[in-house]
Chain A
Amino acid sequence: MRIGVVTFPGSLDDHSALRAIELAGGEPVSLFHGSTDLKEVQAVVLPGGFSYGDYLRCGAISRFSPIMESIIIAAEHGFPVLGICNGFQILCESHLLPGALTRNSDLHFICDDQKVAVENIKTPWTAGYTQGQEIVIPIKNGEGSFQCSDETLAELEAESRVVLRYVGKNPNGSRNSIAGISNKQGNVVGVMPHPEQAIEELTGPGDEGLIFFSSILKEMVGR
Chain B
Amino acid sequence: MSLDTVAVATANPDALQPYEQLGLKADEYASIKQILGRRPTSSELAMYSVMWSEHCSYKSSKVHLKQFGEKAPHSDALLVGIGENAGVVDIGQGYAVTFKIESHNHPSFVEPYQGAATGVGGIVRDILTMGARPIAIMDPLRFGLADAKDTRRVLPGIVSGVGGYGNCLGVPNIGGEVVFDETYAGNPLVNALCVGVMRHEDIKLAKAHGTGNLVVLFGAKTGGDGIGGVSVLASETFNDAKPTKRPSVQVGDPFAEKVLIECCLEIFKADLVVGIQDLGGAGLSCATSELASAGSGGMEIQLEKVPLRDPSLSPEEILMSESQERMCAIVEPSNIKHFMAICKKWDVTATVIGEVTDGTNLHITFNGELIVDVPPRTVAHDGPIYNRPIEKPTYIAERQSAKINVPLPSSPAEIKAAVLTLVASPNIADKSWVTSQYDRYVQGNSVLSQPEDSGMVRIDAKTNLGVAISTDVNARWAYLDPYEGAKLALLESCRNIATTGAKPLAVTNCLNFGSPEDPGVMWQFAEAVRGLADICLEMGLPVTGGNVSFYNQTGSVAILPTPVIGVLGVIQDVRTRTKMGLAKSGLEIYLLGRADANLSGSEWAYLHNEIGNFAPKADVAMETRLVNLLLEGQPLFESAHDISNGGLAAALTEIVLKNKIGAEITIDDVGVALMSETPGQVLIAVDPKSSHELIALAETHKIECRKIGISGGDALTINGAAIPLAELSQAHTETFPKLFG
Contacts and interface: CB of A to CB of B under 8 A. Distances in A.
A16 B258 contact: no
Interface string B247-268: 0000001111011000000000
Interface of A: 9-10, 12-13, 15-16, 19, 34, 48-50, 52-55, 106, 108-112, 138, 140, 142, 194, 196-197, 199, 202-204
Contacts of B513: none
A9 B259 contact: yes
B33 to A, nearest CB: 46
Given A109-B163, A203-B444, A19 B461 contact: yes
B670 interface: no
A53 B253 contact: yes
A50 B443 contact: no
Given A12-B170, A53-B168, A53-B253, A140 B258 contact: no
Contact of B439 (A108, A111, A202): A111
B167 A109 contact: yes
B254 A203 contact: no
A172 to B, nearest CB: 12
B112 to A, nearest CB: 15
B142 interface: no
Contacts of A50: 167-168, 254-255, 258
Contacts of A13: 170, 442, 444
B441 A197 contact: yes
Nearest to B441: A197
Contacts of A194: 441
A10 B444 CA distance: 16
Contacts of B170: 12-13, 49
A34 B341 CA distance: 14
Given A10-B255, A13-B444, 11 more contacts: A10-B258, A10-B259, A12-B442, A15-B443, A53-B256, A54-B168, A109-B439, A111-B438, A111-B440, A138-B441, A202-B447
B379 to A, nearest CB: 35
10 contacts: A10-B259, A13-B444, A50-B254, A109-B163, A109-B167, A109-B439, A111-B440, A140-B441, A194-B441, A197-B442
A9 B263 CA distance: 10
Contact of B574 (A108, A111, A202): A202
The range of chain B's interface size is 20 to 34
Interface of B: 160, 163-164, 167-170, 253-256, 258-259, 345-347, 435-447, 458, 461, 574-575, 741
Nearest to B464: A202
Nearest to A48: B442
B590 to A, nearest CB: 26
- For the residues of A in contact with B, the DSSP-based class is loop
Given A111-B438, A111-B439, A9 B255 contact: yes
Contact of A10 (B168, B345, B443, B575): B168
A109 B168 CA distance: 11
B663 to A, nearest CB: 23
B346 A140 contact: no
Contacts of A138: 441
B441 A109 contact: no
A16 B443 contact: yes
B437 A109 contact: yes
Given A19-B444, A50-B255, A50-B258, A202 B436 contact: no
Contacts of B258: 9-10, 12, 50, 53
A203 B253 contact: no
B164 A53 contact: no
Contacts of A52: 255
Given A52-B255, A53-B254, A15 B444 contact: yes
A108 B161 CA distance: 11
Contacts of B440: 111
Q: Which 6 A-B pairs have the closest CB atoms?
A: A53-B255, A12-B170, A16-B444, A197-B441, A50-B168, A140-B439
B437 A110 contact: yes
Nearest to B253: A53
Nearest to B433: A108
Contact of A204 (B439, B441, B574, B741): B441
A122 B168 CA distance: 33
A9 B254 contact: no
Contact of B441 (A34, A108, A111): A111
A203 B136 CA distance: 14
A106 B436 CA distance: 12
B445 A203 contact: yes
Contacts of B436: 108, 110-112
Of A15, A53, A199, chain B has the most CB atoms within 10 Å of the CB of A53
A140 B437 CA distance: 8
A177 B741 CA distance: 22
A48 B345 CA distance: 21
A54 B256 CA distance: 12
B167 A140 contact: yes
Given A9-B346, A50-B254, A111 B437 contact: yes
Contacts of B160: 108-109
B578 to A, nearest CB: 13
Nearest to B156: A108
A49 B170 CA distance: 7
Contacts of A16: 442-444
Given A12-B170, A111-B437, A203 B446 contact: yes
A67 to B, nearest CB: 14
A18 B255 CA distance: 22
B458 A108 contact: no
B458 A140 contact: no
Contacts of B167: 50, 109, 140, 142
A110 B167 CA distance: 11
Contacts of A199: 444
Contacts of A203: 441, 444-447, 458
Contacts of A34: 345
A60 to B, nearest CB: 13
B168 A197 contact: no
A16 B444 CA distance: 6
Contacts of B169: 12
A19 B445 CA distance: 11
Contacts of A106: 741
Contacts of B164: 109
Contacts of B435: 111
Nearest to A11: B170
A196 B437 contact: no
